Each structure stands twice: as C-alpha cells, then as structure tokens.
Structure 1
Amino acid sequence: MTTTTLTDLYQELAPCTGLDLSALLPVGIQREVGHFNVFDLTDLWDSTQLQPATPYPCRSFYKISLLRSRSRTEYARQTIAIEPDALVFSTPKVPFQWLPDEPQRGYFCLFTAEFLLPVLGGLTPDELPLFQADGYPVFQLTPAEAAQAETIFAKMHGELPSDYAHKYDLLRAYVLELLHLGQKRQPTTTLHPAHSAAARLSSRFVELLERQFPLTTPQQRVPLRTAKAFADHLAVHVNHLNKVLKDSTGRTTTDLIGGRLAQEAKVLLRQTDWTLWEIADSLGFVDVAHFSHFFRRYAPISPGAFRTLDTVPV
C-alpha cells in the first residue's frame, strides 16, 4: 500500500497556490516536534478549481475539514454524501478519497500524531473516538456550530503566519476545540465505549509509556524500553500485549515504544543542548552509533543533521 506523505501533499498543492514547496511550510515549524498546517479551501478552489482525481490509499497525517459545500467521500469501502456544513475527521489508518460535487468553501487542517502529543495526556489520536478505524468520520453541524468551527479555523489560519512565540501551543488548543466539537456530535454510546479488559490494558500501557517522559536532565534514564519489559510490568504475556495493541492501534508494541522514543529524541535534539551521547544514554542506547541507527528508522537524516537542519523534513 502506498502512502501520501506531507511532502507529496505539498507538491500537489504548490501549483494550486502559486507558491514553492518551502513557502508552504509554516514559519517556525522547524522548532516543533510534529507538523501542523491549515488551508482555506475556498482560496484553493478559486485559484485552480482543485478537484482530486486519484484516490490516496493511505496518508501519513490526520486531517480535520470543515466542508460548507456538497461533496462525497469514499471511506472504508463506503460512499458518504456530505451535505453543507460538515466536520470531517480523517485518519491515516483508513483509505479515503474526497470527491467535490460543486465549488467548495471551507477549511482543512492537517497534523501528525506527534504534534498533539503535549495535549492529549498520553493518548494518541488513534485512541480518540473520532479517529477510530470503524467510526463514522462525517458530522453534520448546526448553523451555530458551523459558524463556531469556521471561527476556529479562521483563527488558526490567521495565527499560523504570526511570529508569536507560543503560537503552536495556541494552535493545539484550537485543534482540541475542533475535537471537542466533533465529539459533541457523536452518539453518547460511542463517546463512552465499554472499558473491556483489552481497552484497559491498552490504556495502562499508554499510561506506563508516557510516565517515563519527559526527560528533564541527562542523568535520567528510560526504565522500560522493550515489549517484554512492559509486558512483565503489566503482568501479561508479551504476545497478548502485542495482540491487544495491534488490534487497537494497528501498530506493534515495539513500534509504539520506538515511536515514542523517537519523539522524545526529537524534542531533546531541538530543545536542549545535551550532547548526542547524553541523549543516547538517557534513551537507553549503548552508544551514539546505535542511537543514530535507531533514529534513522524514524527520520530521513541523522540525529546531528536533524538538530542543525533549518527545516524539519516532513
């Protein structure tokens, strides 16, 4: 299965906006872990009458759209008619294709899981009801709710080019507002899923994983780094833990641990002056070489290059 990356998306949007690829990247994003951007759909449509012609089997990012015109989406092998004033939540886990039926008005924002990490209390977007693979992604809004959503998107669109030092914290807050607005439109039964044994185990794993971070001094060490270590701590067999997490997130225990270690590595590389050896040691690697080999599985460049690069690769 192919994946539409952020770079693929920007290469597609560049001709539509008349901007080059670098101009589409938010100012200051190189200081952030994760990625965020927001677009005025009306501007894109008016400039090119942008109409997606090919399906995207998978995307590497999450997307929230406010669609104020009629369209359709092919989502999880079903076609959903979208009436004006709909909030649509798209997840990398489910293939979809968007098909406009008329000139489009609205907004959309896109972000990676890492971008929301500081505000989800240890959860990943995939664990939110709105991004469940078996959920329904389209939520019809009342006129008041549509106006509220448009105000939020307009604030994000206006804030993104600003030089406010904490603008990404503000943008995360706006995304949370959209998530809450969507959750209000969900049936009560889906907002409070039954806490099965599997769900509890998954939640305990995430809590245990997040409890190890953030690292605030080079003297700290990540105590749990392997699937077996987590399984032992949770008093379950490692195969059972792996199955539960695979079913709930689509990722293995090892991949979830590795992804979180990589996120912390990026934070430390960007926001501290620790040496590469100190970062590697705190994250539990025997030396910088092993750390660098690990890091390259989650980024296209070395840790040292990531620290000094002006723009974080998307």
Structure 2
Amino acid sequence: MENTHDVYRKFTLSKNSDYDIIQSSFGHFNVFKRDACSFLTPYSRRDYYKISLVMGMGELHYSNRWIKVDRPALLFSNPVVPYAWEMTSKDQTGWFCLFTEQFINQESKQSVLKDSPLFKVDGDPLYFLNDYQVNEISLIYEKMMHEMHSTYTYKYNVLRNYLHLIVHEAMKMQPSSNFERQGNASSKISHLFFELLERQFPIDSPSYQLKLKTANDYAYSLSIHVNHLNRVIKEATGKTTSEHIGNRITQEAKALLQYSNWNISEIAHSLGFEYQAYFTNFFKKNTGLSPKRFREIIFNQQV
C-alpha cells in the first residue's frame, strides 16, 4: 500500500519542503502539478485520499474496471479502492491534491467531504470536463498552491473550503438522482458490502492496517444505518455482517501466516488488532489453533 512518504520520494522536493509542517495535528494535505510525478503507477491501495485534474490521455485501472481517459477529467480516489494509471500520450499536465482522513476529520460529522458519494465505494471516480470546467477547477488548484505557502493562521480551513468547491463542482456534473439513497435496494446493498469487503484484501504490506473492521465501519462507507445493513445481509445470506467480516479476516490471517514472512505481531497489526493477544484469541476462536501453532503445522507439512 502506497503512503504519503512514498509519494514524496517520487518528487524532487527541496529539503525545506512544507511536508513536515503540514504533517501535524491537522492531518496531512498537499497539492502538486502533475508534470512532477510518475505516469505509470502500480495497481494498489493508498493510505490517503486524492483528487486529480488529469490533462493527458491514459488508462485508469480502477477496482475491476479499465477506463479510457481521452480528454480532461477529474479523478477521485480513496484508501479503500485500489487503482493504477498508465499514460498513453506523452503530454501529461494538470494538478492533484492528496490528504489524509485526519485532515477531513477536523470537520464536523456533517462534512460534505466525508459524506460525499464521490468518496464512497460505489461512487463514480471519474468526471470528464469541458473547457470551462477545466479553467474553473485549475483556478481552484492554483489558489490551493498559493494558500499552501501562506502564513495565514487558518490556512487549513481555507484549504478544506477549496476541497469543498472541487467536490461540489463534480457533484453538479451528475444528475441529482445519482445522489439519492436507494434504501430499498437490498440486493445492491448486499453486493456493495461484499465488494467493499473483498477490496480490502489481499493485504500486501505489514505497514498497512485494515481500514474497515466492523459492521459500523461498512455501514458508514455505504451511507446506510448499521441496522439496515445487518438486516439485509442476514436476510440474503443467513449470516450476520460481523460473521462475514470475521470469516474474511480469518481467511486472510491464514494466508499471511502461511505465505508471508511477517511475524505474528505484524500480522495482527495489519488485520486491525490493537494487541497481538487480541488477534491470538480471535484466531483461536475461529480455527481452534493459535496463530503460532497454525504456522508450525503448515511449516511441518511443507518440509
């Protein structure tokens, strides 16, 4: 999983970069011109949110889809859905900003950023732009860049307001019906839950920690009440939401114990357990074996 430190290694930044300043109690935010970045990115998750104004042709691999980008577009990505970008034209310009969940969480619970369909698992990640929209959104990015270097006390609030503007511009590009909750669409909710569950796996680095661990986490990402999610999943499968989450985490734990060289503490952390003892109890409850004993049995079978 790529993190913000990986992003900065891709750029030629001065030692006096603002990175350490913004990586603070406010969370992290920064804005760049796209001509400073690599135009072949690996298919993976990131630990940050990103909004890109893409000017240049290429192909976007987003979740299980390939999307051809042949004109200016606005791209939204989040830490849950893996994606990759491959350019098909030499000229690549535009802007992008990246920010962490902590940066968003400085706002109230009613924040349009956190609640926007643009950052939900079933949201549309790409919005093609006309010339007017390109100019308007480019201007917002230019203002972001200017604000980044200001000494204004409330600069982070200003930057969040600019994020709001971009999100609202994108929301205006969709029919209003796209933002209506489909509370009675049980089959769609069930499908989206399992899609979201699977998108968290496989875990490819011990530094990555599972983002969604409870039924409440999934309900929040799907913009529905947890009781409604539980009812839909129970009616569709006969199992509770928590059972499905626990079974999938157990499955991933077995794979990591068998195929990775991570120690048990690293595996516990990556699967979202605060303490190794919690993971050990969880794994033993679901398999009848401790993680250590499970790994020993697998190792002996392979010898």
TM-score range normalised by the length of the shorter chain = 0.5 to 0.7
Partner deviation per Cα, 1:231-287 (whole Å, 9 max, x = no partner): xxxx9879938979x98xx999xxxxxxxxxxxxxxxxxxxxxxxxxxxxxxxxxxx
Q: Counterpart of 2:14?
A: 19
Q: Which amino acid aligns with 1:148?
A: E
In 2 relative to 1, CA 136–162 (structure 1 residues): closer, same or farther, beyond 3 Å?
same
Q: Which amino acid aligns with 1:106?
A: G
Q: Which residue, 18, 21, 34 being the options, matches 1:41? A: 34
* Greater mean deviation of Cα atoms: 130-139 or 235-244: 235-244
TM-score by length of 1: 0.56
Deviation at 1:144, TM superposition (A): 1.1
Q: Counterpart of 1:110?
A: 98
Query: How many residues matched?
Result: 206
In 2 relative to 1, CA 100–188 (structure 1 residues): closer, same or farther, beyond 3 Å?
same
Q: Counterpart of 1:10?
A: 8
Q: Counterpart of 2:44?
A: 57
Deviation at 1:191, TM superposition (A): 1.6
Q: Which residue, 203, 208, 230 being the options, matches 1:240? A: 230
Q: How far apart in 2 are the matches of 1:130 and 1:108?
A: 16
Deviation at 1:134, TM superposition (A): 2.5
| 1:59 alignment partner, SS class | coil
Q: Which residue, 81, 87, 90 being the options, matches 2:77? A: 90
Partner deviation per Cα, 1:213-232 (whole Å, 9 max, x = no partner): xxxxxxxxxxxxx999xxxx
Contact 1:10/1:24, CA 8 A, preserved across alignment:
no
Q: How far apart in 1 are the matches of 2:76 and 2:108?
A: 17
In 2 relative to 1, CA 5–236 (structure 1 residues): closer, same or farther, beyond 3 Å?
closer
In 2 relative to 1, CA 242–58 (structure 1 residues): closer, same or farther, beyond 3 Å?
farther
Identity percentage of aligned residues: 31
Q: How far apart in 2 are the matches of 1:8 and 1:36?
A: 14
Partner deviation per Cα, 1:150-171 (whole Å, 9 max, x = no partner): 0000000111021111100000
Structure 1: unaligned runs, 5 residues or longer: 199-225, 229-234, 253-295, 299-314
| 1:23 alignment partner, SS class | coil
In 2 relative to 1, CA 17–191 (structure 1 residues): closer, same or farther, beyond 3 Å?
same
1:157 aligned onto 2:145: yes
Q: How far apart in 1 are the matches of 2:75 and 2:146?
A: 21
In 2 relative to 1, CA 197–74 (structure 1 residues): closer, same or farther, beyond 3 Å?
closer
1:185 aligned onto 2:183: no
Q: How far apart in 1 are the matches of 2:18 and 2:245?
A: 31
Q: Counterpart of 1:166?
A: 154
Q: How far apart in 1 are the matches of 2:19 and 2:49?
A: 16
Q: Counterpart of 2:254?
A: none
Deviation at 1:62, TM superposition (A): 0.7
Contact 1:73/1:79, CA 8 A, preserved across alignment:
yes
Q: Counterpart of 1:223?
A: none
Partner deviation per Cα, 1:146-203 (whole Å, 9 max, x = no partner): 11100000000111021111100000000000000111112322122234599xxxxx
TM-score by length of 2: 0.58
Q: How far apart in 1 are the matches of 2:184 and 2:94?
A: 38
In 2 relative to 1, CA 238–192 (structure 1 residues): closer, same or farther, beyond 3 Å?
closer
Q: How far apart in 1 are the matches of 2:229 and 2:183?
A: 21
